[in-house]
Copies of this chain bind each other. A is one copy, B any other.
């Protein structure tokens, strides 16, 4: 049994053929090139059929297709909401892709990126052997893929895991309205925002005038060079990551929390400090049972998750 895995991002599509032991037979990338709505659906269908032909030419029989999407996948309807793909509010991706394949016995399975990340880590990464584990994805935004008793937590309408909205700082402030308190303070965009707030009118980080388009990377670079303000900015994020870990641990009693996304990355070096902060807040027995680790799969977590989605059952 072989499966096709597709990982759709906001700007590119990654695709791979997995053999049954979970090895990548071949892998390719396609830029979305400003495609919108149905054009993105068409790219996915064309890519899938290309890989099906290529698999047939090397006598690999494809049994299923797994697809990871940057948003919400509705299990009941097979439709997808993806904020970064224009016109994908309730896009009938499952039906469209299933119809585009000539062999109707090949099943198409779709799930959200955060669900795929934790599935990927369970299959081939740092959550192998876990029944209860969480992938905390910290990039531009923040989301969590949550594995409960070997199943991904979906919620009543498939939008569970929206941890960017977690409240950590009473009382409520207007600035949390667009993205939530945790994401405001500790996402990639959040770190840049907090940096701008803390710099005030000076706009100086590590004695350099900082450009308008200050990014989290600038803050991490300044931190590496010993900048005092950057230390404070990072300390603010560590406190938030630690509290989020604590709240996840008290609620879910997981075996592992896996950190991924662009920020982890450079923030992986702070895992011990994050644990130390979490230990203050969390249920005291549960916190001793959890391990914090970085993603083993990095940018391929979604692709592996899509592979496992297709492979399992």
Contact = CB atoms under 8 A, between A and B. Distances in A.
Interface in A142-178: 144, 146, 148-149, 151, 153-172, 176
A181 B278 CA distance: 13
A158 B153 CA distance: 17
- Sorting the interface of chain A by its residue count into under 10, 10 to 19, 20 to 34 or 35 or more gives 35 or more
A156 B253 contact: yes
Contact of A163 (B144, B251, B280): B251
This protein's copies in its complex: 2
**Top-8 shortest CB links A-B:** A155-B253, A162-B283, A165-B250, A167-B281, A160-B253, A167-B243, A132-B156, A162-B250
14 contacts: A130-B156, A149-B153, A156-B253, A158-B253, A159-B285, A160-B251, A162-B251, A163-B250, A165-B281, A166-B250, A167-B246, A168-B168, A170-B240, A172-B277
Given A155-B286, A164-B250, 8 more contacts: A149-B154, A157-B286, A159-B253, A162-B283, A168-B168, A170-B239, A170-B243, A180-B283
